[in-house]
Amino acid sequence: MNFIPSTETEQEDLLKEVGVSSVRDLFNDIPDSVKIDKLDVEEALTEFKVKKKLEGLAAKNKILKSFVGAGSYNHFIPSVVDHIVGRSEFYTAYTPYQPEISQGILQAIFEYQTMICSLTGQDVTNASMYDGASAMAEACIMACSISKKNKIVILKSVHPDYREVVKTYCSAYSIKLEEVEEVSADEKTAAVVVQNPDFFGRVTDLSKIKEYIGETLLISGVIEPTSLFVLKEPSAADIVVGEGHSFGNGMNFGGPYLGIIATKDKFKRQLPGRIVGQTTDTEGKRGFMLTLQAREQHIRREKACSNICSNEALCALAATVYLSYVGKSGVNLGDVCLQRAHYLYNKLLEKGFSKVFDAPFYNEFVVKLENVRELHSQLLDKRIMAGVLLEDYYPEMKDCLLFCCTEMNSKEEIDELLGAL
């Protein structure tokens, strides 16, 4: 339906009804000292001139060869993803409350849930989290609700930005948050939160952690989900959370992203967000519908598990198409990321960098070199983004760089970095 603004006569009638003489009078509570009489903007341009102006701005962009990960990963997106996601029946769909007219998107979400459960080794997942950070925070609240305890222990090797989001959520729920260097838990601890691979790229044996903490719930963050193509599924965890943008969603200057949260069957009624279930209609035909809705805010209001109102189904659809397209070849993709990261790591050690950790890693690793910030700046001048300066996140890690390799970093590109060094 076209948007038709109100006429001047209609505006006058509306203003008269509320008892003011002008639109400006509606804002009398705002001091005149901060009001703007006229915006200082240029005159409107024609479509042609706008296009030329934008092309000029775009020409200023610098295309960098990037070896940066740290929670946002550059992966190839097959054209089939955008082709299917761009279909109008998908990108205009909102929450599919009416199954009789939403079977397509409901089935797509169901397939997404099936794939995520297969990758994570969990029994049930949803399709409705904002991003990996909020999914981790929601998992902490969920753990406290399950255990009836009010303390969360989170490792400092979890992404610093994720820890900040968890801290914000926990403060709103009066949950005690304890940040630690090593895994620990006591009788008051609802859950221990780890990241695997962690912020430094190190791979952890979750089964050993779970054995150590016993009945305490284990939340595992999978921030780089392509690691699931090559690493053992995190089935030892009680709740698995992660960031799904690597599955067919671009980095897009930080979003929209796709939060993953999956758990055991016994915890499914505490799982926030929407769950699609498979059923049969009155004629015995297979169908799909939203299920276990008694957990949600539109039914239980303030008693709901959470208050997630946004619909991330379009991002979940992109992940579904991507995983369907990649299929079993995802193992090869994971191997490529693994091999190229280790190739770069060994070459950097030969160049004079020193190792920081002895733990195994997937596609990210940390190395150290004196005055590395200056080197980082010099490489930027050569249009090479050589990792993340860890001192900005961890002051004690001076001169440490976090490098990342994906399938987008060819051997030739890696060798160019080494040559520039």
Q: What is the pLDDT of residues 401-410, one digit of tens each?
A: 999 999 999 9
Q: What is the pLDDT of residues 329-349, one digit of tens each?
A: 888 999 999 999 999 999 999
* Among the listed residues 344, 372, 345, 369, the one whose alpha carbon sits nearest the alpha carbon of residue 358: 345
pLDDT in the model for residue 99: 86
Question: If you average pLDDT over residues 361-388, what whole number do you get?
Answer: 96
Secondary structure letter of residue 202 according to DSSP: B
pLDDT at residue 84 above 60? yes
- The CATH H-level (homologous superfamily) assignment of domain 65-75+329-420 is Aspartate Aminotransferase, domain 1 (3.90.1150.10)
- H or E element at residue 321: helix 313-326
Torsion of CA 58, 61, 65, 71, to 10 degrees: -90
pLDDT at residue 219 above 60? yes
This prediction's pTM: 0.88
Enter the tokens of residue 294.
Answer: 């008694």
pLDDT at residue 308 above 80? no
pLDDT in the model for residue 186: 95
In Å, how far are 208, 225, 318 from 89, measured between CA atoms? 46, 28, 14
Mean pLDDT of the chain: 93
Q: What is the pLDDT of residues 37-54, one digit of tens each?
A: 888 888 889 999 999 999
Q: How many residues does the chain have?
A: 421
Torsion of CA 348, 349, 352, 355, to 10 degrees: 110
Q: What is the pLDDT of residues 162-178, one digit of tens each?
A: 999 999 999 999 999 99
pLDDT at residue 2 above 60? no
Question: Which of 25-29, 98-102, 184-188, 271-275 has the lowest average pLDDT?
Answer: 98-102
Q: 79-327 has which fold?
A: Aspartate Aminotransferase; domain 2 (3.40.640)
The residues spanned by each domain of the chain are 65-75+329-420, 79-327
Question: If you average pLDDT over residues 179-185, what whole number do you get?
Answer: 96
In Å, how far are 83, 95, 98, 275, 420 from 108, measured between CA atoms? 15, 13, 15, 12, 46
Question: If you average pLDDT over residues 222-230, what whole number do you get?
Answer: 96
| Residues 256 and 227: beta-carbon distance below 8 Å | no
pLDDT at residue 273 above 70? yes
| Residues 334 and 229: beta-carbon distance below 8 Å | yes
Give 305 or 180, the one with higher predicted confidence: 180
| Residues 270 and 304: beta-carbon distance below 8 Å | no
Question: If you average pLDDT over residues 96-113, what whole number do you get?
Answer: 89
Strands 354-355 and 364-368: antiparallel
pLDDT in the model for residue 93: 64
pLDDT in the model for residue 62: 86
Location of structure tokens 């753990």: 143
pLDDT at residue 1 above 80? no
pLDDT in the model for residue 312: 80
Question: If you average pLDDT over residues 66-76, what whole number do you get?
Answer: 96
pLDDT at residue 418 above 90? yes
% of the chain beyond a pLDDT of 90: 77
Question: If you average pLDDT over residues 123-139, what whole number do you get?
Answer: 93
Q: What is the pLDDT of residues 4-43, one digit of tens each?
A: 678 889 989 999 999 999 988 999 999 988 888 888 888 8
pLDDT in the model for residue 231: 95
